[in-house]
Amino acid sequence: MVESWALIVAIGVIYLTALGCIYRILLTYRTAQGAIAWIIGLLGLPYLTVPLFLLIGRNRFGGYVKARRMGDESLTNLLDYFEQQTTSISEPADRHFTDELQVLCSLGRQPFTEGNQCRLLRDGDDTFDALFEAMENARRYILLEFYLVRSDRVGQRIKSILKRKLSEGVEVWFLYDDIGSVWLPRHYLKELSKAGAHVASFGDGNVRRRRFQINFRNHRKLLVCDGLVGFVGGINLGDEYLGTAIDQEPWRDTHCRIEGPAVTGLQLAWLEDWNWASDEVPSLDWAPHEATPGEDKVLILPTGPADEWETCTLFFLNCINNARRRLWISSPYFVPDVQIMHALQLAALRGVDVRILIPEKADSRIIGLAAYSYLAQAAQTGIRIYRYQPGFLHQKVVLVDNRYAAVGTANLDNRSMRLNFEISMITTAAHFVASVESMLKDDFGNSRTMTEQDYQARSIVFRLTCRALRLLGPLF
């Protein structure tokens, strides 16, 4: 009799929890298809779906939001001060362009700054050479934030430089994502800590605040030295970006180097993440530095699930909807939601040269197959999809006309749009835009153009599989 009552109570708790989850979904859902899928699962299989939802079902990082609202007053003041800096985005001959750029400032709560020097780093060799040089030249502090860190040759070189700089009195703060760096040996981190580095995991953070929010990942990759030089892009700390990893295709990726007041934007994005992970605001020089001899206008755009809006989605929509002649996007993952796909189609229909560059050899079989299902929609409106051939393409780049370019960490998939913390740099600098154009032309030359027949000529089983996997897009 007691066992029967215990079973009834347990079942009641499960269903009450399921109803609570449904209540939360109805209040906070961002896509109807995702909400419907969760509700069906919670009603039909609550024993399986309730724990799954508690682990990966949330779409807003409650703990980070609370930390942002109740965080250190000095951090809030720094963020507000930088946001209120005078922007330099006036385009007298093109009022529409000025408004378009102002939207991006509003999304990221950061200004466009002028007086910067930007340099495109086209591959891993260029990037690591520049990273190593900047760290070697650091005199006061080094801030690192990477999704994935390996203990391979690149990782060991990074550790060696950091330990040497620590011995010279340079302060080091090292932030990593515990899911992306799950295979990083603990002794690697202990060595850095023992040498005097401040080390924190974004996923660990404050356990009391985190509460099962493991689906949110810090996908950002950035480095700042002395507040003067910064780096951002798609490259993590691993040998695969040099093409030297054993039994692995070389990775094609892109980063950029920034010098000037825009580096403050990188610092503040890092600072907010570090504050969440450690409840600490380091006593460093956070004020914007004077402009360098450069003339580049740059915006740093952090996006993530703690934002009031879907900032990453709105960023892509702003780029797509305002493109006039050309829209070239490179992303390793192409699983757009309905609104992004419709915006791409409309851009192509109004005569914009829309090109999507994705890898031939995806690192995720599921996402690679799901991308095939978009071929028919793309071909019908003139969108061209290219598959990069020599190795795995991992870069995240956007080129809008000849007006501006973005390099960062955001992909064209649900995870970047709604679940990951991402960051991009956007610049109107003509020389940088030209460098991105030249780079992408070379990448298109190393790619094959996909056609609708690549999908329609395949077996019905293949097409059904692609369509079925596309339904999982909101969960990727």
Q: How confident is the model over 178-217, as pLDDT tens digits? A: 889 989 999 999 999 999 999 999 865 454 444 445 678 8
What residue type is 261 in one-letter code? P
In this predicted structure, which of 232-236, 290-294, 357-361 has the lowest mean pLDDT? 290-294
Concerning whether 152 is annotated as a catalytic residue, the answer is no
pLDDT value at position 11? 77
At residue 450, what are phi and psi to the nearest 5 degrees?
Answer: -85, 150
Which residue carries 């580096």 as its tokens?
263
User: Of 39-43, 285-289, 337-341, 370-374, where does the model show the most confidence?
Assistant: 337-341
Give the rounded distance of the alpha carbon of 284 from its chain centre.
26
pLDDT at position 322 over 90: yes
Structure confidence at residue 89 (pLDDT) = 62
Report CA-CA distances (Å) from 205 to 8, 55, 63, 439, 470: 37, 16, 10, 38, 33
pLDDT above 60: residue 146: yes
d(CA 174, CA 155): 13
Q: Which among 165, 221, 255, 297 is annotated as catalytic?
A: 221
Per-residue confidence (pLDDT) for residue 279, from 0 to 100: 80
- The HSE-up count of residue 467 (CA atoms within 13 Å, CB side) is 11
Cβ atoms 181, 219 nearer than 8 A: no
The fraction of the chain above a pLDDT of 90, given in percent, is 49
Range with lowest mean pLDDT among 194-208, 282-296, 348-362: 282-296
pLDDT at 399 over 80: yes
Asked if pLDDT for residue 69 goes beyond 50, the answer is no
The one catalytic residue among 123, 337, 401, 413: 401
Catalytic-residue membership of 96: no
Mean pLDDT, residues 301-318 taken together = 92
pLDDT higher than 80, residue 152 = yes
H-helix segments, 71-226: 73-83, 95-108, 124-137, 153-167, 186-194, 207-210
Comparing 120 with 276, the larger pLDDT belongs to 120
Report the distance separating Cα 330 and Cα 405, nearest Å.
12
**Confidence check: pLDDT of 172 > 60:** yes
Closest CA to 386 of 364, 359, 362: 359
- Annotated catalytic, 297? no
Of 464 and 140, the one with more pLDDT: 140
Give the containing element (helix H, strand E) for 218. Answer: strand 217-218
Give the largest Cα separation in the chain, rounded: 82
Identify the residue with better confidence: 454 or 259.
Answer: 259
- The whole-number pLDDT of residue 288 equals 60
Least confident of 12-26, 55-69, 220-234, 265-279: 55-69
Q: Is the pLDDT of residue 331 over 70?
A: yes
Catalytic member of 297, 396, 413, 443? 396
Output the DSSP codes for 319-336.
HHHH-SSEEEEE-S-B--
pLDDT of residue 56: 66
Chain mean pLDDT for the chain: 84
Comparison of pLDDT for 151 and 68, the residue scoring more: 151
Query: At residue 154, does pLDDT exceed 50?
Result: yes
Which residue type, as a one-letter code, is found at position 71?
A: G
Rounded-to-integer distance, Cα 41 and Cα 47, Å = 9
Contacts of 45 (CB under 8 A, 6+ apart): none
Q: What percent of the chain has pLDDT over 70?
A: 82
Give long-range contacts, CB 8 A cutoff, 24+ apart: 30-36: 30/59, 30/310, 30/418, 31/337, 31/414, 31/418, 31/474, 33/471, 33/474, 34/59, 34/474, 34/475
Q: Is 396 designated active site?
A: yes
Q: Which of 255, 337, 394, 443 is catalytic?
A: 394
Q: Which of 159, 165, 219, 297 is catalytic?
A: 219
Q: What is the dihedral of CA 196, 284, 423, 432, to 10 degrees?
A: -110
Active site residue 401: yes
The residue type of 110 is Q
Which is catalytic among the residues 123, 177, 226, 443? Answer: 226
Dihedral angle, C-alpha 35, 41, 44, 50, nearest 10 °? -110
Is 221 within 8 Å of 128 (Cβ atoms)? no
Give me the pLDDT at residue 283, please.
Answer: 79
* Alpha-carbon distance values, 192 to 99, 165, 186, 398 (Å): 46, 11, 10, 36
Q: Is the pLDDT of residue 464 over 80?
A: no
Write down the pLDDT at residue 212.
Answer: 46
Higher local confidence (pLDDT), 321 or 243: 321
Whether residue 150 contacts residue 184, with contact meaning beta carbons closer than 8 Å, is answered with yes
Give catalytic status of residue 187 as yes or no.
no
Average pLDDT over residues 408-437: 94
* pLDDT of amino acid 211: 45
What are 293's two structure tokens?
């001899």
Output the CA angle 329-215-268, nearest 5 degrees. Answer: 65
For residue 327, the one-letter residue type is L
Integer Cα distance of 425 and 51 in angstroms: 37
Mean predicted confidence (pLDDT) in 6-13: 75
With a cut of 80, say whether residue 249 has pLDDT above it. no
Going by C-beta distance under 8 Å and a sequence separation of 6 or more, which residues neighbour residue 93?
A: none
d(CA 472, CA 474): 6
* pLDDT value of position 90: 55
Q: What three-state secondary structure class fits 353?
A: strand
Which ranges of 285-362 would DSSP assign to H, the alpha helix? 311-322, 338-349
CA dist., res. 153 & res. 245, Å (int): 9
Q: Report how many helices (DSSP H) and strands (DSSP E) the chain contains, helices first.
A: 19, 18
Q: From residue 177, give the alpha-carbon distance in Å to each of 167, 215, 264.
A: 26, 12, 22
User: Would you say residue 352 has pLDDT above 70?
Assistant: yes
Q: How far apart are CA 19 and CA 39, in angstroms?
A: 9
